[in-house]
Amino acid sequence: MSALNQIQKKRVVIVGMGFGGINAAQELAGSGLEVILLDRNNYHLFQPLLYQVATAGLEQESIAYPVRALIRDWYNLSFRMGEVTGLDLAGKQVLTDKGNLPYDYLILAGGSVTNYFGNEGVARHAYDLKKLTDAERLRNTILTTFEQAAQEDDPVRRKELLTFVVVGGGPTGVEFAGALSELIRFVFRKDYPTLQLEDSRVMLLEAAPTLLGAMPEQLRRYAENRLQEMGVEVRCNALVADATDHEVRLGSGEVIATRTLFWSAGVKAGPLAGMVPGDKGPAGRVKVTPGLTMPDHAEVYVVGDMACALQNDKPLPMMAPVAMQQGRYAARSIIRREQGGTAEPFRYLDKGSMATIGRSSAVASAFGLSLSGFIAWLAWLFLHLYYLIGFRNRIVVLLNWSWYYWFHERQVRLITAQEPDSGNLCQRQKSA
């Protein structure tokens, strides 16, 4: 009899179906353990492509996949849709709005939320991209704003409508700014022939001295120069101090009149981390042992953006590759423990990072190599297609990308929720 068949039928509960949770579930499939997956949504979301939904490049369904369909052929796995309301670590139970879930092992993969760093004005008036509904609302806002500008006679108000401020010079901010600029230059120029789109502005603000701070200097310079060639106004050392429904105020005192503010300047651990007792690290992340467990509860693993795991005395970054490797590690560690063994401390293998800037243009840094331009763009495309879940989703996304590459068209220019022309458009859509 194999060692796997000798594993006792114990229960593992995985909270969160992001990259960490899904990878843990896949590793535990067929292990002989009972595995229950829990999430407030019934789908896994491929968050790196949310910005393309917001800029009318992809349908929202093409970057999400139903969890039940995903685990249909994974042995001993089941899914429950519900909201976590608390944790009873002493009693080994997850408290939910649908009842309590006992566990022998618990993997917490609750992800992250946008970090506004206590800036209430920005939190009220800015968009972010963490959920499917966020992307749809932002797309509605961009399209509705252009419809309003096409009928606006006041040049000052029209310029305000056509000014888009993107805060955060990391991969998300760079990718969103580039995609939005291309949408305006290549698509809206044809859709709105009466508008003088030279009046439109896409501004990318970064508080640090450079964009893409984790990448080599030559790639940072390439990204900034390429964005500027595309018409994006890049400003580094630009700290956002406040925002209202009609303007963004910088720390320097400058005021930018705008109706659309997109925030990608930081993330913090999600609300689930606040339910976990014990010390927290930066951004509210749960401090874990080298084995990714809670110090006082060895049966509880914390992975992904929730976990403050140290490597070389520094917290690991809050990125999808980290979550994927940690999810697989936690699952393998549980299996080894049930077989009577122990797991080595977790070590993250950094395979590099990349960001696309626009059509045929990207930057990538991996294993000591620095790539830019068309080759980096192809690498970005194939890597994202590879990790996207679902054959149909891959085909749909590839067809959309191919169509845009050859014809400069974005097919998903649909306003699915109309807003009245009054007050703060962003705030009204966020509260909808």
Q: State yes or no: pLDDT of 430 exceeds 80.
A: no
Q: Is residue 346 part of a domain?
A: no
Q: What is the mean pLDDT of residues 313-327?
A: 97
Cα–Cα distances in angstroms (integers) from residue 398 to residues 109, 250, 374, 413, in the given order: 29, 39, 17, 18
- Write the CB contacts of 334 (distance below 8 Å, at least 6 apart in sequence): 12, 28, 33, 105, 301
Q: Is residue 70 part of a domain?
A: no
**Each residue of 25-80: pLDDT tens digit?**
999 999 999 999 999 999 999 999 999 999 999 999 999 999 999 999 999 999 99
Same domain, 151 and 289: no
Q: Of residues 408 and 258, which shows the higher confidence score?
A: 258
The number of folded domains in the chain is 2
Asked if residue 329 lies in contact with residue 343, where contact means CB atoms within 8 angstroms, the answer is: yes
Q: Is residue 55 part of a domain?
A: no
Structural domain harbouring 305 = 4-40+82-114+268-338
Same domain, 221 and 330: no
**Each residue of 323-346: pLDDT tens digit?**
999 999 999 999 999 999 999 999
Q: State yes or no: pLDDT of 422 exceeds 60.
A: no
pLDDT the model gives residue 412: 87
Of 338, 364, 399, which one is at a domain's C-terminal end?
A: 338
Asked if residue 418 lies in contact with residue 139, where contact means CB atoms within 8 angstroms, the answer is: no
Q: State yes or no: pLDDT of 420 exceeds 60.
A: no
Closest-CA residue to 409 (of 55, 47, 46, 60): 55
Q: What is the mean pLDDT of residues 219-227?
A: 97
Q: State yes or no: pLDDT of 424 exceeds 60.
A: no
Give the start-end residues of each E strand in 240-389: 240-243, 247-250, 255-257, 260-263, 267-269, 286-287, 293-294, 297-302, 307-308, 310-311, 314-315, 353-358, 361-366, 369-372
Of 313, 338, 363, which one is at a domain's C-terminal end?
A: 338
**Each residue of 129-166: pLDDT tens digit?**
999 999 999 999 999 999 999 999 999 999 999 999 99
Q: Is residue 370 part of a domain?
A: yes
pLDDT the model gives residue 419: 54
Percent of the chain past pLDDT 70, that is, above it, reads 95
- The two tokens of residue 391 are 């054959």
**Each residue of 400-410: pLDDT tens digit?**
999 999 988 88
pLDDT the model gives residue 8: 55
Q: Using the 8-state DSSP alphabet, how is residue 97 labeled?
A: B
Q: Is residue 162 part of a domain?
A: yes
Same domain, 168 and 253: yes
Q: Using the 8-state DSSP alphabet, how is residue 41 labeled?
A: S
Percent of the chain past pLDDT 90, that is, above it, reads 90
Q: State yes or no: pLDDT of 4 exceeds 80.
A: no
pLDDT, the chain, mean: 93
Same domain, 179 and 322: no
Same domain, 195 and 168: yes
Length of the chain: 432
Q: State yes or no: pLDDT of 423 exceeds 50.
A: no
Q: State yes or no: pLDDT of 5 exceeds 80.
A: no
In degrees, to the nearest 5, what angle opens at C-alpha 327 toward C-alphas 321 and 333? 135
Q: State yes or no: pLDDT of 429 exceeds 50.
A: no
Q: Is residue 281 part of a domain?
A: yes
Same domain, 106 and 149: no
Same domain, 247 and 396: yes
Same domain, 258 and 275: no
pLDDT the model gives residue 199: 84
Rounded Cα distance, 136 and 55, in Å: 9
Q: Of residues 349 and 412, which shows the higher confidence score?
A: 349
Residues labelled as active-site residues: 175
Asked if residue 63 lies in contact with residue 50, where contact means CB atoms within 8 angstroms, the answer is: yes
Same domain, 93 and 125: no
Same domain, 358 and 329: no
Q: Is residue 133 part of a domain?
A: yes
Q: State yes or no: pLDDT of 297 exceeds 80.
A: yes
Which CATH number fits the domain that encloses residue 322?
3.50.50.60
pLDDT the model gives residue 431: 43
**Each residue of 345-387: pLDDT tens digit?**
999 999 999 999 999 999 999 888 999 999 999 999 999 999 9
Same domain, 226 and 211: yes
Of 338, 362, 397, which one is at a domain's C-terminal end?
A: 338
Same domain, 298 and 364: no
Q: Is residue 143 part of a domain?
A: yes
Asked if residue 381 lies in contact with residue 34, where contact means CB atoms within 8 angstroms, the answer is: no
Q: State yes or no: pLDDT of 213 exceeds 60.
A: yes
Partners of 99 in beta bridges: 96, 97
